[in-house]
Structure 1
Amino acid sequence: MTTLIKNQDVRTISGGILVSRTTNTLPASATGNIFVVSGGRILVRGLVGEVTTAVQNQACTLALGTAPTVGTGSTTALGTATSIIAAPIGTHMAANPGGATVVDLSTQAGVLISTAALFVVNAGNITITTSATNTGSVKWDLIYVPLDNGAQVVAA
């Protein structure tokens, strides 16, 4: 395995490039960007979030999506919104195209990422949308493979 450090948050790992986004508060009843894709398309091998500050005990759902900045593409959901009410520290969540966003509220096991969860993202943003203004903070990790020469990802 080769290690490549770029801006202290990107490194090559077996099967793709890992980009980490430091913990950040949840967007307040809005959509926020968690990663920015530039230079072409990427194949996402995994997109995982971990709660670092507990989410308050108030109704709230979380959804992941993409918002391309090239072509005629429109915003696309990476699964349906899932409840994150009172998600404790250590809760994991992952993209699940075609299904509900995977959220493991038990914190006793990791989140399941299957090979069916592979998806292509055009240049643009990978987003998070919440349905309410809740306290809580999540850090994100993305594993990807560039499909086009020059394609890369940075944390938003």
Structure 2
Amino acid sequence: MSVIIQGSQLRTLLLGNGPVSSASGAFAADTRTIFTVAGGEVMVTALWGVVTTAITVANTVALHANPTTGTTGVIATATDIGTTDTAAGSVLGFRPQTDSAPDLALDGAILSGIVVSTGDIEQVTTGTNPDGAVTWYCTWVPLTTGATLVAG
């Protein structure tokens, strides 16, 4: 039997460029750039994280879109993912909310359809001595000719 289309080609047709990955590094109470957008707007077609170091201390993690010009927007609201330990290898998706941005969730879905302008997608971590680490993954398509998204 012949294969007409490869898996990577199908992924590109459905989700666009990527996946691009960006390791958060060891958590600290700070704001870190995980992806950078240049040259205009891109649409994030899928966004998810994989825990690479267990998260065992109460802390919150949020994702923000911080454009070079304009107002910072919340992609995912600050969510405590450490009080109930989150094991290495866990996939972080997003749980939709009816009145706000989605929460991070172990039982969530991949977040998609987000338009991000030139600037950064940031991980914002709060708490006292937060621990753990996440590698974030993103697929995207340019909405402006020449726009790009790269790991932060």
Superposition TM-score tier, normalisation by shorter sequence: 0.7 to 0.9
Give how far 1:29 is off.
1.1
Structure 2: gaps of 5 or more residues:
none
TM-score between the two structures when normalised by the length of structure 2: 0.79
Instruction: Report the secondary structure of 1:14's partner residue.
Output: helix
Give how far 1:27 is off.
4.2
AA aligned opposite 2:136:
W
Output the CA distance in 2 between the equivalents of 1:35 and 1:27: 16
Q: Percent of counterpart pairs with the same letter?
A: 32
AA aligned opposite 1:41:
E
Give how far 1:14 is off.
2.5
Distance 1:131 1:79, change over 3 A: same
Match of 1:121 in 2: 116
Output the CA distance in 2 between the equivalents of 1:21 and 1:14: 19
1:52, 1:136 within 8 Å by CA — same for their partners in 2?
Answer: yes
Give how far 1:100 is off.
3.1
TM-score between the two structures when normalised by the length of structure 1: 0.78
Alignment map for 1:71-150 (pairs within 5 Å)? 73-85=70-82, 86-94=85-93, 98-104=100-106, 111-113=108-110, 117-132=112-127, 133-150=129-146
Give how far 1:81 is off.
0.9
Match of 1:53 in 2: 53
1:91, 1:103 within 8 Å by CA — same for their partners in 2?
Answer: no
Output the CA distance in 1 between the equivalents of 2:30 and 2:114: 24
Give how far 1:23 is off.
3.0
RMSD between superposed Cα atoms in Å: 2.3
Structure 1: gaps of 5 or more residues:
5-11
1:30, 1:130 within 8 Å by CA — same for their partners in 2?
Answer: yes
Give how far 1:121 is off.
0.3
Deviation readout 1:99-154 (Å, 9 max, x if unpaired): 332320xxxx6x4136xx41110000001001123221111110111000000011
Instruction: Report the secondary structure of 1:150's partner residue.
Output: coil
The structure having more radius of gyration, on CA atoms, is 2
